[in-house]
């Protein structure tokens, strides 16, 4: 009788230890997934800011006239273009001002009273995970809208 009771106690103890180990492994896996998702989101937020600044730099380097037109979109991929890309970065640029070429994405009726506000831009930047890349279980998509004077 004594040996049978000891055997039942040992089996219950082993089942209890196995349950605690499985629970610990589950929490560890969840923590790792949460950490990697947080890292990817922070990386996307930095790319969002960099994409906006890159679009502003492209506008500043481009002469806006009837011959050259305007830069309406700036597209990039990170870390490299193609199959290995993790994020798509798309910036759409809308122009506000007088005397802009017709090829520009013109916002509004351009009835500005001051020349200081001429060639003001609204930049819509979107960063999202590439569709074919399974870096995260949940897709990441961030949007930022800024108004700038290049």
For 38-101, give the DSSP string: HHHHHHHHHHHHHHHHHHHHHHHHS--BTTTB---EEEEEESSSSTT--EEEEEEEEEESSS--
pLDDT for res 71: 93
pLDDT for res 84: 87
- Rounded Cα distance, 5 and 131, in Å: 58
Contact 104, 71 (CB under 8 A): no
Task: Give the tens place of pLDDT for each residue, 11-67.
Answer: 999 999 999 999 888 888 778 888 888 999 999 999 999 999 999 999 999 888 878
How much of the chain, in percent, has pLDDT values that exceed 70?
95
Domain range for 63: 2-148
Give me the number of domains the chain comprises. 1
Sheet hosting strand 141-148, strand order edge to edge: 73-78, 87-96, 120-129, 141-148
Higher pLDDT, 2 or 93: 93
Query: Would the pLDDT of 110 be above 70?
Result: no
């Amino acid at each position: 009788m004594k040996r049978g009771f000891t055997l039942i106690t040992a089996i219950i103890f082993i089942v209890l230890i196995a349950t605690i180990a499985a629970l610990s492994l589950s929490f560890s896996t969840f923590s790792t997934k949460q950490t990697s998702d947080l890292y990817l989101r922070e990386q996307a937020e930095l790319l969002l800011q960099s994409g906006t600044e890159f679009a502003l730099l492209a506008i500043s380097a481009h002469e806006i006239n009837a011959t050259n037109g305007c830069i309406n979109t700036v597209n990039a991929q990170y870390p490299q273009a193609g199959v290995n890309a993790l994020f798509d970065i798309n910036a759409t640029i809308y122009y506000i001002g007088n005397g802009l070429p017709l090829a520009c994405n013109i916002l509004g009726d351009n009835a500005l009273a001051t020349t200081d506000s001429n060639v003001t831009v609204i930049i819509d930047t979107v960063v999202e995970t590439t569709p074919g890349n399974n870096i995260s279980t949940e897709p990441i998509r961030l949007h930022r809208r800024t108004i700038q004077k290049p």
